[in-house]
C-alpha cells in the first residue's frame, strides 16, 4: 500500500473539507440558484468522473499489491 499520503494529508483534508461541506449544506439552495439546472448537471457529471477515477486508481493499486505479493 502507498503510505505517502496517509500520514499528514488526511487530517488536513478533513479539517479543510469539513467546513466547506457544512457551508454547502447551509447555502445549498443559494448555490443551486446560482448554478442553475445546467450547472448542477455539470457538477454532477464531474463528481461522477472523479468517483470513477478514484475507483479505477484503487483497483489498480489493489491489483498491483496482489501481483507484488504473488511474485515474492
26, part of any domain: yes
Q: Which residues of the chain have pLDDT under 70?
A: 1-11
Question: Which range of residues forms the domain containing residue 26?
Answer: 9-71
Mean pLDDT, the chain, whole residue set:
87
Total tally of structural domains belonging to the chain: 1
> Would you say residue 54 lies in a domain?
yes
Is 2 part of any domain? no
pLDDT score for 16: 85
| Cβ atoms of 61 and 1 closer than 8 Å | yes
Q: Is residue 4 part of a domain?
A: no
For residue 37, tell me if it sits in a domain.
yes
C-beta of residue 1 within 8 angstroms of C-beta of residue 65: yes
**Per-residue confidence (pLDDT) for residue 17, from 0 to 100:** 87
Amino acid at each position: 500500500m502507498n503510505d505517502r499520503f496517509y500520514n499528514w494529508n488526511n487530517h488536513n483534508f478533513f479539517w479543510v473539507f469539513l467546513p466547506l461541506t457544512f457551508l454547502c449544506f447551509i447555502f445549498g439552495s443559494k448555490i443551486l440558484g446560482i448554478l442553475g439546472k445546467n450547472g448542477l448537471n455539470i457538477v454532477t457529471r464531474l463528481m461522477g468522473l472523479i468517483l470513477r477515477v478514484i475507483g479505477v486508481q484503487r483497483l489498480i493499486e489493489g491489483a498491483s499489491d496482489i501481483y507484488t505479493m504473488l511474485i515474492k
